[in-house]
């Protein structure tokens, strides 16, 4: 599934609920899922980790839909030429630097 397909599927499945919840409420759900992912990474099995990654990605797509952001375009703009700092693939930034 591509990012545009993901956003379209999430919009078709949950768009009305997401719009009524709004960005603030949706962000809170997203953060809850990030916490669940953190727990799964520390102590969960592989299947639980996969499911939590999927939840985080779905809620991220929901936030992007509500905010009117095309995730595919955002990724292409920010990371399409490699590292956004040094522009190399692989990144040649020092380990103390972000990213």
For the chain, the structural domain boundaries read 3-68
The region, left, alpha or beta by phi > 0 then psi within -120 to 50, assigned to residue 45 is: beta
Tell me the C-alpha distance between 19 and 43, whole Å. Answer: 34
Fold of 3-68: Helix Hairpins (1.10.287)
Please, how many CA atoms are within 13 Å of residue 14, restricted to the half-sphere of its CB?
Answer: 17
Each residue's pLDDT tens digit, 69-78: 999 999 999 9
Residue 98 has a pLDDT of: 74
What is the mean pLDDT of the segment spanning 39-60? 97
Each residue's pLDDT tens digit, 2-41: 999 999 999 999 999 999 999 999 999 999 999 999 999 9
Burial of 37 (0-12, 13-18, 19+ CB in 10 A): buried
């Amino acid at each position: 599934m591509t990012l545009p397909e993901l956003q379209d599927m999430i919009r078709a499945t949950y768009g009305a609920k997401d719009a009524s919840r709004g960005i603030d409420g949706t962000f809170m759900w997203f953060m809850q899922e990030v916490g669940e992912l953190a727990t799964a990474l520390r102590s969960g099995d592989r299947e639980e980790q996969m499911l939590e990654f999927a939840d985080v990605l779905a809620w991220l797509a929901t936030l992007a839909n509500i905010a009117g952001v095309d995730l595919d375009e955002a990724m292409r703009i920010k990371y399409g030429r490699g590292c956004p700092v040094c522009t190399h693939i692989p990144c040649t930034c020092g380990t103390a630097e972000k990213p």
